[in-house]
């Protein structure tokens, strides 16, 4: 009899387990069973990258990437950047992870980023490989023209989940470049020497985005080198005699003193641009493949071709007519808004420093 009771008890337990297991499976949350969401993309160096979605925490290892994050209005997601990320000023308040060449991997890991943004030109492959070994995703950009910078901005925006913001920033950049090209269309380009360093003399090669930026500003570099950062001899520069020397500096007030110093050197005095003090000083934004580069291009164009920006009497008259028309129609516009009871749409720049607008 006891044997029969034990068999009955075992049967009851088996039946309970059989029916209870599906109930537990059905009551389990789908979220607890699903794997983390990742998006597979190919970055601009050809690497296949798996990026967690959504991207909530970003570390930037290049000043251009930091500026791009701000231009897209995502500065609140930026949890760390490099010692060289100084624009906009708020970027200086972010947690610093070291330099672009030798960032602190320990510091980066402690910030628990979903994604680290890098550039091929500013960061080392070893850094990317080390991040990969730590299980940290990174995405690299590698623009070689101003158009590439616009494309990169849109790609990064899409990856970060804000494609509309990327479209706004990119389209505004392109619009300003198109407008500038129209203004410079009839003017011959200036021959320039872009000075990266004076001793030794270093300039930019033809395949760099800086060389392309010069072209868009109505200038042509006298240096035609396949190297990105070629050393140039003063004898060669003296032979070519550029119309202007172009300097990029975040402290433009110091450049005149530099030019004065060059004028005291016999090798530099033979350059007519030095003797006649024909130099252009623009923001160091031209050195960074980020949206703000358009402002640097416009800045250079105004210095090299001031005649293209002189307002003609006909243009001034047309501008005044438009202003008067706008003021005269404003009451009617306000009335229409009240009657329709529709929300007022205002156009704002994306982020705190979108394209330095």
CA dihedral 206, 44, 95, 210 (to 10 degrees): 10
Q: Looking at the whole model, is its pTM more than 0.85?
A: no
Please, what is the Cα angle at 201 between 283 and 191, to 5 degrees? 65
**pLDDT, position 313:** 64
What is the CATH code of the structural domain delimited by 38-142? 3.40.50.1980
The CATH H-level (homologous superfamily) assignment of domain 189-309 is: Nitrogenase molybdenum iron protein domain (3.40.50.1980)
**pLDDT, position 322:** 52
Count CB-CB contacts under 10 A for residue 137: 18
Region of residue 198 (left: phi > 0; alpha: psi -120 to 50; beta: else): alpha
Count CB-CB contacts under 10 A for residue 1: 5
Residues 69, 60 contacting (CB under 8 angstroms): yes
Alpha carbon distance 263, 270 (integer Å): 9
Alpha carbon distance 311, 293 (integer Å): 24
Rounded to 5 degrees, what are φ and ψ at 241? 45, 80
Alpha carbon distance 140, 155 (integer Å): 11
Tell me which residue of 229, 299, 349, 287 sits closest to 87, measured CA to CA.
287
Alpha carbon distance 55, 72 (integer Å): 14
| pLDDT tens, N- to C-terminus, the chain (357 residues) | 444 444 444 445 444 444 443 433 333 344 444 556 999 999 999 999 999 999 999 999 999 999 999 999 999 999 999 999 999 999 999 999 999 999 999 999 999 999 999 999 999 999 999 999 999 999 999 999 999 999 999 999 999 999 999 999 999 999 999 999 999 999 999 999 999 998 899 999 999 999 999 999 999 999 999 999 999 999 999 999 999 999 998 655 666 777 778 888 888 888 999 989 899 999 999 999 999 999 999 999 999 999 999 876 656 566 555 555 445 444 433 333 333 333 323 333 333 333 333
| Residue 55 DSSP class | -
40 forms beta bridges with: 50
Cis, bond preceding 54 (omega within 30 deg of 0) = yes
Please, what is the Cα angle at 99 between 40 and 108, to 5 degrees? 50
Delimit the CATH 3.40.50.1980 region(s) of the chain. Answer: 38-142, 189-309
Count CB-CB contacts under 10 A for residue 154: 20
């Amino acid at each position: 009899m006891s044997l029969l009771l034990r068999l009955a008890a075992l049967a009851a337990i088996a039946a309970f387990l059989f029916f209870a297991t599906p109930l537990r499976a059905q009551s389990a949350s789908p979220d607890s069973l699903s794997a983390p969401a990742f998006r597979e993309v190919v970055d601009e160096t050809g690497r296949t990258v798996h990026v967690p979605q959504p991207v909530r925490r970003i570390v930037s290892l290049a000043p251009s990437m930091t500026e791009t994050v701000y231009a897209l209005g995502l500065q609140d997601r930026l949890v760390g950047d490099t010692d060289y990320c100084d624009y906009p000023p708020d970027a200086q308040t972010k947690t610093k992870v070291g330099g672009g060449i030798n960032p602190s991997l320990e510091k980066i890991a402690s910030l628990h980023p979903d994604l680290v943004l890098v550039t091929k030109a500013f960061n080392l492959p070893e850094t990317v490989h080390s991040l990969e070994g730590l299980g940290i995703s990174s995405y690299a950009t590698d623009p070689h023209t101003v158009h590439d910078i616009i494309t990169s901005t849109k790609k990064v925006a899409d990856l970060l989940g804000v494609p509309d913001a990327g479209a706004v920033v990119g389209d505004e950049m392109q619009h300003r470049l198109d407008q500038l090209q129209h203004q410079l269309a009839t003017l011959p380009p200036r021959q320039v020497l872009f000075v990266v360093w004076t001793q030794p003399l270093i300039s930019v090669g033809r395949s760099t985005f800086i060389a392309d930026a010069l072209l868009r500003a109505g200038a042509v570099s006298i240096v035609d080198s396949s190297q990105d950062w070629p050393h140039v001899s003063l004898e060669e520069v003296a032979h070519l005699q550029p119309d202007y020397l172009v300097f990029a500096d975040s402290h433009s007030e110091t450049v005149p003193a530099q030019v004065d110093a060059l004028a005291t050197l016999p090798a530099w005095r033979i350059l007519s641009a030095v003797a006649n003090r024909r130099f252009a000083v623009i923001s160091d934004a031209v050195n960074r493949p980020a949206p703000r580069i358009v402002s640097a291009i416009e800045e250079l164009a105004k210095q090299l071709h001031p005649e293209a920006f002189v307002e003609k009497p006909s243009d001034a008259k047309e501008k005044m007519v438009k202003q008067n028309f706008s003021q005269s129609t404003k009451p009617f516009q306000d009335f229409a808004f009240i009657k329709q009871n529709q929300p007022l749409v205002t156009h704002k720049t994306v982020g705190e420093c979108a394209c330095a607008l």
